[in-house]
Amino acid sequence: MPQNRAHALMRDRRTVNRGRERTAADRLLIVAGLTLLWITAVFGRLAYLQLFCHSEYLARAARQQQRTIEITPKRGSIYDRNMHPLAMSIPVDSVFAVPTEVGDAQLAAQLLSRVLGIPGDVLEARLESGQSFVWIARKVPPDKKEAVEALNLMGIYFQKENQRIYPKRDLAAHVLGFVDLDEKGLGGIEHELDSKIRGKSEKIVVMADARQRWFDGGEAQREPGASVILTLDERVQYIAERELAAAIAKTHAMAGTVMVMNPNTGEILALASWPKFNPNAANEAPAESRMNRAVTALYEPGSTFKLITLAAAFDQGITRPEEVFDCENGAVYVAGHRIHDHKPFGLLSVADILAQSSDVGAIKIALRLGAPKFYDYIRAFGFGQPTGVDLPGESKGLVRRLESWSAISIGSISMGQEVGVTPIQLISAVSAIANGGLLYKPHVVAELRRGDRVVPSEGVLALADPRRVIRPETAATLRRLMERVVLNGTGKLARLDGWTAAGKTGSAQKIDPATGRYSRTQLIASFTGFAPISNPAVTILVSLDSPVGQREGGQVAAPVFKRIAEQILPYLDVPRDVPIGPRLLQAAYRSDRASNSAALADFTPTDFTGQPDQPPAEFAGTTAKAGMGQLPPVTVAVDEGGDIPVPDMSGKTVREVTEMCLRLGLDPVLVGSGLATNQKPAAESKLRRGAKVTVQFGTPAPKNSKSRKGTRR
């Protein structure tokens, strides 16, 4: 029995073990089945998300993690002819917000308003707009950027943009123009060449990490904007603007224009308009100040137009300088209308008609010439049509068709009435007389560069061949007669000390809007001329709108021509062609010139960092145009007491001496031409700033001939 009982127990144990094993296997099967089902569901879901929902979730992730911001492209820089920067773009910070991340929009708006000076309700509306991206403030100064950063507000971020700056402030503002907040050109060269300077638009991808910290993710590829090299010379431009401002202050004129042109190429070396403005804050200036009067202002030229009358007459051979006309004591009848001269004249030669600016004499010459021929020459000189200058807003002037002329028109037009011109048209015509009869297209752009590659000229930048308008013999005759205007006529105050000069005065009556008749008090006073006569280097035009007191061109505009020419001719190293003695030398550099305007040495152009401006590396080795390159710097120590040691100038050219003196703050008095042979005070003498240094030029002794050959340029 016991043995049977043991066997039974063993069977029961086997049965229990088999049941347990079966239960464990069933559990494993259940777990495996559940696991397989879970894996199938997971992979099925992943497959569904990857295959069917991929695009939707990718777009949602991009919306959450990325912001694509179109920012202003970096514009190319603008330089003067000597590679001094006049306009450039620099990186600045702009403030933007992600409204969904801003906790308390009202508090954030109040804090930002105090820092940025933007109304709080405006900022609050932006932060509560529900958009994924909003601008808070564009292109903020560094101090405001630091103040916003110190607030440490959630959802407020910064983005780099480009900002246009003009380091010389209002210098050449009417030529350069200005841009808006998005760096789009709105005036001057900035507008005329906007598509070339601006380059392609830039798109910045801004990304967020897991902690919602924003950073730059990259930027789209783009073609950089082209840099512009102008024909302007910033020192000549500064002289022109300074003397124009002094003339405006002295005459209380409403407006004014000064232009300096190379008559042999059409290059504009300076273009100054008054009123002026600062392109760094162009939106704060009235529209009148931003107007470039040199290309847009239309006015009757007055007596300066007599040059065109005589040019046509001489070119047609209908008169000669020695021929005498009866000016009938200052009055003549044309088509039943009596025209008065500005003063009574009797018998005058043609040369004296120009020198004394006789209206009656000009009318009689024009009547002999005839209206059809006169009209042809007016159009040939470029009046009544755009010059094609590479600046926006040019007016074509006003010249009525020949069939629209009245019987009195030929008399009026011969003395500069019934015709409207712009300063750039007039200076181009006078330059044609100066260079021998060729009319050049005026231009301010020398070339465009993208990196070290010159961009081919096309469209408005393409320069046509000069067009002959009068014979060389005619131009030579006119130059002699224009010299008499300066020596013995109405332009005596334009006579230069050390150079020959030629020109013509103009005093044109303005139309009184109230009466529609010519005003007795409002005049356009002008003078246009060139120097030297034998080989003209510059043509200069001065125009003053409605001067008060003395208001004739010979009284107020001619002296401005003189002051400008006597500063830029030495700077351009133009040799003197008139010997001057000690008495004339003293008269030429009287103290009134120093009292009326600051010395050129006061103008030390610097870039926005405050460092002396230098050409960029991409232009290394570029030579300046027309021999007006940048001179090597002159470094002379100034002692602690403020006295300036005078450098040794022997063997230097006129231009080198001028540059040295102006850099040191000394006033150069230059006598003769060639190389410096003597100076007073002597080298190493101590002078105060503004003191005069007299330098005599001539031919050095033969023993220095070798060094002279190397120094001359």
DSSP letters for 535-602: S--EEEEEEEES-SSS-SHHHHTHHHHHHHHHHHHHHTTPPP-S---HHHHHHHT-HHHHHHS--GGG
Q: What is the mean pLDDT of the chain?
A: 81
C-alpha distances in angstroms, 613 versus 197, 600, 632? 21, 17, 13
- Inform me whether the pLDDT recorded for 107 exceeds 50: yes
- Considering the domain architecture, whether residues 398 and 431 belong to the same structural domain is answered as yes
34/123 same-domain check:
no
CATH number of the domain at 91, please: 3.90.1310.10
- Asked whether residue 120 falls in the same domain as residue 18, the answer is no
User: Pairing relation of β-strands 692-698 and 667-671?
Assistant: parallel
370 backbone dihedrals φ, ψ, rounded to 5°:
95, 145
The count of C-alpha atoms lying within 13 angstroms of the C-alpha of 453, restricted to the half-sphere facing its C-beta, is 6
Give the per-residue pLDDT at 405. 94
Q: H helices within 152-233, ranges in order?
A: 173-176, 188-192, 194-198
- Runs of H (alpha helix) within 494-547: none
Q: How far is CA 4 from the centre of its chain?
A: 123
Do 75 and 191 reside in the same domain of the chain? yes
CA atoms within 13 A on the CB side of 590: 8
Beta bridge partners of 531: 538
pLDDT at 204: 60
How wide is the angle at C-alpha 173 spanned by C-alphas 596 and 655, nearest 5°?
55
Based on its alpha-carbon atoms, the radius of gyration of the chain, rounded to whole angstroms, reads: 38
605, part of any domain? no
Name the nearest CA neighbour of 703 among 677, 674, 683, 680: 677
Backbone φ and ψ of 444, nearest 5°: -115, -10
Give me the number of domains the chain comprises: 4
* Shared-domain flag, residues 208 and 249: no
For the residues 94-101, what does the mean pLDDT come to?
Answer: 83
Q: Which residues, in sequence order, are CB contacts of 348 under 8 Å at separation 6+?
A: 324, 325, 327, 356, 358, 361
Per-residue model confidence as pLDDT tens digits over 275-309: 999 999 888 889 889 999 999 999 999 999 999 99
The lowest-confidence range among 47-61, 101-115, 226-240, 457-471 is 47-61
Answer whether residue 619 shows pLDDT above 70. Answer: no
Point out which residues pair with 420 in neighbouring strands.
398
Please indicate, yes or no, if residue 535 is contained in any of the structural domains: yes
What is the domain extent for residue 185? 66-228
Distance (Å) of CA 367 to CA 310, 373, 381, 455: 12, 11, 19, 50
Q: Is residue 58 in a domain? A: no
> Is residue 608 in some structural domain?
no
Residue 591 has pLDDT above 50, yes or no: no
Taking the C-alpha atoms of residue 11 and residue 168, their distance in angstroms, rounded to an integer, is: 111
pLDDT above 50 for 592:
no
CB 183 within 8 A of CB 101: no
- Could you tell me if 395 and 259 lie in one domain? yes
Assess whether the previous peptide bond of 532 is cis (omega < 30° from 0): yes
State whether 393 and 537 are in the same domain: yes
Residues 285 and 161 placed together within one structural domain of the fold: no
Which one is predicted more confidently, 337 or 506? 506
Task: Output the pLDDT for position 557.
Answer: 96
pLDDT of residue 349 exceeding 90, the answer is yes
How much of the chain exceeds pLDDT 90, in percent? 44
From 184, 208, 228, the end of a domain falls on 228
Work out the average pLDDT over 315-343.
89
Greater confidence (447 vs 612) lies with: 447
Q: What is the pTM of this model?
A: 0.73
Residue after which a domain boundary falls, among 212, 228, 244: 228
More confident site: 668 or 107: 107
Instruction: Answer whether residue 620 is part of any domain.
Output: no
Domain C-terminal end among 228, 258, 280? 228
Among 141-145, 387-391, 477-481, 551-555, which is the least confidently predicted range?
A: 141-145
